[in-house]
Homo-oligomer: A and B are copies of this chain.
Amino acid sequence: MDKIVFVTTNKGKMWEAVAIGKQYGIGFTQDEYDAAEMQSNDLEKIAAKCAADAHAHIKKPLIVEDSGVFVEALGGFPGPYSAYVIKTIEIEGILKLMDGVGNRRAVMRSALVFADGKRLKTFAGEVRGVIADNRRGVGGFGYDPIFIPNGWKKTFSEDTDYKLRVSHRAQSIRKFCEWYAKR
């Protein structure tokens, strides 16, 4: 089985990649190399720069994935800084900011970049939904406890099987695997 390096410190992301990759005969190994992320509103730009940086260091075919939740009523916040926001004001901060806000629409976006020294190739995914009124469920990570995808009643944390089928990251990982399997 082909093994591709997944540069991430996030075990949850790693688990999702392994679960999806299996369906395509593609394996992943984790590398926790801490590539410098740039400040930008553009997830693809951030991931591409990280992937180039990581490849210069690791020198093996690899992927980097950057994702964020963009809340419409908050002007797209926390967007590319979703991980930082989770570490500081946490889920509770987002719920407080959304307290009394009628428009709960949000988009989760993922940008996955493959680098092998010859090229950088980008795969994107996105899922639309709403921010829940309360934290619900224990699965997943990040914003999963408060994100309900459109057409569904449960948060991603309450239904991680469903998350693995439809999430922003599931989409970008699947697109990558399809491309990689027949390249």
Copies of the chain in the assembly: 2
- Interchain CB contact under 8 A, B89 and A75: yes
Instruction: Name the interface size band of chain A.
Output: 20 to 34
Residues from chain B with a CB closer than 8 A to the CB of A85 are 77
Q: Indicate with 1 or 0, residue by residue over A59-98, a CB within 8 angstroms of chain B CB atoms.
A: 0000000000000001111111100110111100100110
Docked Cα-Cα span, A54 to B128, in Å, equals 38
Residues from chain B with a CB closer than 8 A to the CB of A10 are none
Interface presence of A38 (CB below 8 A): yes
Query: CB within 8 Å of B: which residues of A?
Result: 36-40, 46, 74-81, 84-85, 87-90, 93, 96-97, 99
Select one of B37, B84, B97 contacting A96, CB under 8 A: B97
Residues from chain B with a CB closer than 8 A to the CB of A96 are 96-97, 99
Select one of B39, B46, B87 contacting A75, CB under 8 A: B87
Docked Cα-Cα span, A81 to B87, in Å, equals 13
Docked Cα-Cα span, A84 to B42, in Å, equals 13
